[in-house]
Amino acid sequence: MIRFIIKGLLRDKHRSILPIIIVSIGVMLTVLMHCYITGVMGDTLELTARFSTGHVKVMSRVYAENSDLAPNDLALIDVKELRENIEAQYPDMTWVERIKFGGLVDAPDEFGETYAQGPAMGIAIDIFNEGSGEIDRMNLRESIVRGAIPESPGEVLLSEDFSQNLGVNPGDEVTLISATMYGGMSISNFKVSGTVIFGIPAMDRGAMIADIEDIRLALDMNDATGELLGYFGGGYYEDENAVALSTEFNEKYSSNEDEFSPMMVSMRDQNTFATMIDMADSLAGIIAFVFILIMSTVLWNTGLIGGLRRYGEVGLRLAIGEEKGHIYRSMISESVLIGIVGSVSGTIFGLFFAYLLQTKGIDISGMMEGSTMMMPGIIRARITPEAYYLGFIPGLFSIVLGTLLSGIGIYKRQTAQLFKELDAWGG
């Protein structure tokens, strides 16, 4: 039976080619759109995670309350031991230490006196340990405008705008005036190894990127860190896992009695990200749902048209004695086959284009100039497990549903009437 239907479909191209093309296009667009929306939403969150929040972040309880101020006097201490414990307990995750610091960057003239100065927003990362992955995570190589990434202790990166304002070039020395972890004055000299543009105005105004060991020395933060950031092995934020992980960690390590005890917060629980994460999830769901609905309507219509177009053929088959139920079932089987073939090919094409968009991306950095939002300069699609079956909803079910409805008409046709119709066609 199936073989017969397949032969029929192959031999009568009108019955197969057009519906399969329509189903394929619809499914491909559904899959591609789903991957694109998930990718854009996810990338925006990932950018924030890489620069600021991590997928989870460990801080002291009191630091967490004032985290916007980056209060290093409230930083975590005995970090080496804490990190060893965390790494042993959660080996699938990557853990990195970060220190955010504020201060004044002062550029000297030839006599060593102040030539220019400006407020700096600094991030200390593990630059020299390649295993930390911080250079890639912060996208430093691609962000370099002049000079190079620090190669030895005492070297820092400045944002390009900041260095221009200070009149500083790679190779020049600057002084950071800040406060130590214990509130003392910290004055340290650094050599500018290069300048960077992140495309994030808030950071491009006055960013300083330094190695964490240099800043530990400058701010008297031996075995201390402001933040310990955790990233999931898959590279993407997993909301449920992050929340569960935080709860488990806090039960074990955190104490209400000790305001300096470590506390883990998921990305969801930092700033206003809960709303953003929920919005990303629901927006992707809503857009995908609307798109699926539209595609379903189009493909249902294709099924209906297919059924109606074959009005004459059905009449002839009835006239020569074929059972109504048999005709109905064979049409449904055909539409199932068309739906499967269309959905499979549509999904393959959709995934192919989504893969291209995931690996190559679309450069929108030109449109982001002057933006105050933390948005990625290149938007990429993201292939999720759902993308492999999502297209079958409009592709298979809609066309079958269309055929089911159009086929009902078969049962309403009377044998006596059929011969009149045949006469009329025979004319």
Partner 1 sequence: MTRLIFLISIIFPLSLAAQFPEGDVIMDKIDKNMSAKSMIHTSKMVIHGKRGDRTIESKSWIVGDEKAFTEYLNPARERGTKMLKLEDKLWLYSPSTDRTIQIAGHMLRQSLMGSDLSYEDMMDDSKLSDHYDATVTGEEQIESRNCWIIEMNATDNTVSYPKRIVWVDKDRNVPLKEELYAKSGKLLKKTELFDVKQVAGKWFPMRIVFNDMLKTGKGTEFVITEIEFDKEIPEVIFSKASLKK
Interacting residue ranges for partner 1, rule: CB under 8 A: 62, 66, 71, 73-74, 104, 106, 108, 112-114, 117, 119, 175, 177, 179-180, 182-185, 187-189, 220, 259-260
Helices (H), 219-272: 239-253
Which residue number, 175 or 297, has a Cβ lying nearer to partner 1?
A: 175
Closest contact distance (angstroms) between CB of 152 and partner 1 is: 18
User: What tokens appear for 94 in the block?
Assistant: 């990557």
Closest contact distance (angstroms) between CB of 66 and partner 1 is: 7
CB-CB neighbours of 68 under 10 Å: 8
Which residue number, 103 or 339, has a Cβ lying nearer to partner 1?
A: 103
CA within 13 Å, CB half, 151? 6
Would you call 254 helix, strand, or coil by DSSP? coil
Which residue number, 219 or 383, has a Cβ lying nearer to partner 1?
A: 219
Name the residue with tokens 């407020």.
119
Closest contact distance (angstroms) between CB of 280 and partner 1 is: 34
CA within 13 Å, CB half, 226? 28
Residues 6 or more apart whose Cβ sits within 8 Å of residue 178: 101, 102, 103, 104, 122, 186, 188, 218, 219
Which residue number, 8 or 102, has a Cβ lying nearer to partner 1?
A: 102
CB-CB neighbours of 389 under 10 Å: 11
User: What tokens appear for 212 in the block?
Assistant: 């964490």
Closest contact distance (angstroms) between CB of 77 and partner 1 is: 9
Closest contact distance (angstroms) between CB of 259 and partner 1 is: 8
Closest contact distance (angstroms) between CB of 220 and partner 1 is: 7
Which residue number, 225 or 296, has a Cβ lying nearer to partner 1?
A: 225
Which residue number, 120 or 381, has a Cβ lying nearer to partner 1?
A: 120
- Residue 265 and residue 137: Cα distance in Å, rounded? 20
